[in-house]
Amino acid sequence: MDQFMERAVELAAENVRNGGEPFGAVLVKNGKQVAEGVNELHKSFDVTAHAEIQAMRKVQKMMHSQVLQGYTMYASGEPCPMCLTAMYFAGIDTIYYCNSSEDAVESGLGKAKDIYEELQKPKRERQMEMVHMPLKDGQENPMQLWKERS
């Protein structure tokens, strides 16, 4: 198991040397590495191109499934709220991480910790405004269509 974390950290260090952020991830199933990823924001200009999500995308595409039950994630850093949420949606069983959110703050990468704190607040107290706009009378309801289809 340590070999997977070692690989995640190795990927993170290599990514820093290549101009990226210090994050690497390895996705494992049944004791075997299935995919790996690094943060590629600097290459793709995509804020979702985090190491964990990159590894998940590879496996999901390969398997033609969004479900990753039975998988374990090894991440060089504590997953941000976006990555953690994606792993919950995919059904990943366990996440191991090396550097904590506090370590990231000390390195100048503290946005994830700030977002975790922001999400603890009621919606009305958050920095980003969220406005509910109900359906108009007579407007087709996509949620109702989904319910009927299921």
Catalytic residue positions, numbered? 52
Cα torsion angle, 33, 73, 99, 22, sign: positive
Listed residue (112, 98, 113, 81) closest to 25, CA to CA? 98
d(CA 142, CA 147): 9
Residue-wise DSSP of 18-78: TTS-S-EEEEEETTEEEEEEE--HHHH--TT--HHHHHHHHHHHHHT-S--TTEEEEEEEP
For the chain, counts of helices (H) and of strands (E): 7, 4
